Amino acid sequence: MSILLTGGAGYIGSHTLTELINGGYDAVVMDNFSNSSPKALERVEELTGKKIRYYEADISDRNALEKIFSENDIREVINFASLKAVGESVEKPWEYYNNNIGGTLTLLDVMRRHGAKNFVFSSSATVYGDPAVIPITEECPKGTCTNPYGWTKWMLEQILIDMQKADNEWNMVILRYFNPIGAHPSGRIGENPNGRPNNLMPFITQVAVGKLPELGVFGNDYDTPDGTGVRDYLHVVDLARAHVKAIDKLRENPGCFICNLGTGQGYSVMELIKTFEEVNGVKIPYSIKPRRAGDIATCYCSPEKAEKELNWKAQFGIAEMCRDSWNWQKNNPDGY
Catalytic residues, which ones? 149
Of the listed pieces 76-84, 107-115, 215-223, 314-322, which binds ligand UDP according to CB under 6 A?
Answer: 215-223
Number of chain residues interacting with ligand UDP (CB under 6 A): 14
Listing DSSP states for 66-98 in one string gives HHHHHHS-EEEEEE------HHHHHH-HHHHII
Per rule CB under 6 A, is residue 77 in the interface with ligand UDP?
Answer: no
* 16 near ligand NAD, rule: CB under 6 A: no
User: Do residues 217 and 270 touch, judged by C-beta distance below 8 A?
Assistant: yes
Residue 224 in contact with ligand NAD, rule: CB under 6 A: no
As measured in angstroms, the least distance from the Cβ of 256 to ligand UDP is 25
Handedness of CA 32, 34, 36, 37 (dihedral sign): positive
Choose the stretch contacting ligand UDP; rule: CB under 6 A; options: 14-22, 140-148, 185-193, 212-220.
212-220
Q: Which is nearer to ligand NAD, 58 or 238 (CB)?
A: 58
Q: Is residue 13 at the binding interface for ligand NAD, with CB under 6 A as the rule?
A: yes
Residue from 33, 218, 286, 336 binding ligand NAD (CB under 6 A): 33
Task: Choose the contact partner of 229 out of ligand UDP, ligand NAD, none; CB within 5 to 8 A by kind.
Answer: ligand UDP
Q: Which does 190 bind (CB under 5 to 8 A by kind): ligand UDP, ligand NAD, none?
A: none
Q: 3-state DSSP helix/strand/coil percent for the chain, to nearest 5? A: 40, 20, 40
Long-range contacts of 163-167 (CB under 8 A, 24+ apart): 163/108, 164/255, 164/256, 165/256, 167/112, 167/117
d(CA 333, CA 174): 34
Whole-angstrom Cα distance, residue 200 to residue 183?
14
Helix 11-22 with 236-250: angle, nearest 10 deg? 60
Among 80, 203, 257, 267, binds ligand UDP (CB under 6 A): 203
Residue of 93, 185, 187, 216 that binds ligand UDP (CB under 6 A) = 216
Amino acid of residue 232: D
- Contact in structure between 189 and 40 (CB atoms under 8 Å): yes
Q: Does 67 bind ligand UDP (CB under 6 A)?
A: no
Strand ordering across the sheet containing 267-268: 267-268, 230-231, 298-299
Binding test (CB under 6 A) with ligand UDP, winner from 98, 186, 199, 220: 199
Parallel, antiparallel or unpaired: strands 171-177 and 256-261: parallel
Name 261's bridge partners. Answer: 177
Asked if 310 contacts 246 with a C-beta cutoff of 8 angstroms, the reply is yes
In the bound state with ligand UDP, the residue whose beta carbon lies nearer, of 67 and 292, is 292
Mark 43-82 with x for binding to ligand NAD (rule: CB under 6 A) and - for no binding: ---------------xxx-------------------xxx
Question: Rule CB under 6 A: is residue 218 a binding residue for ligand UDP?
Answer: yes
Give me the residues that bind ligand NAD (CB under 6 A), please: 6-7, 9-13, 31-36, 58-60, 80-84, 99, 103, 122, 124, 177, 180
Give me the residues that bind ligand UDP (CB under 6 A), please: 179, 198-200, 203, 215-218, 229, 231, 269, 292, 295
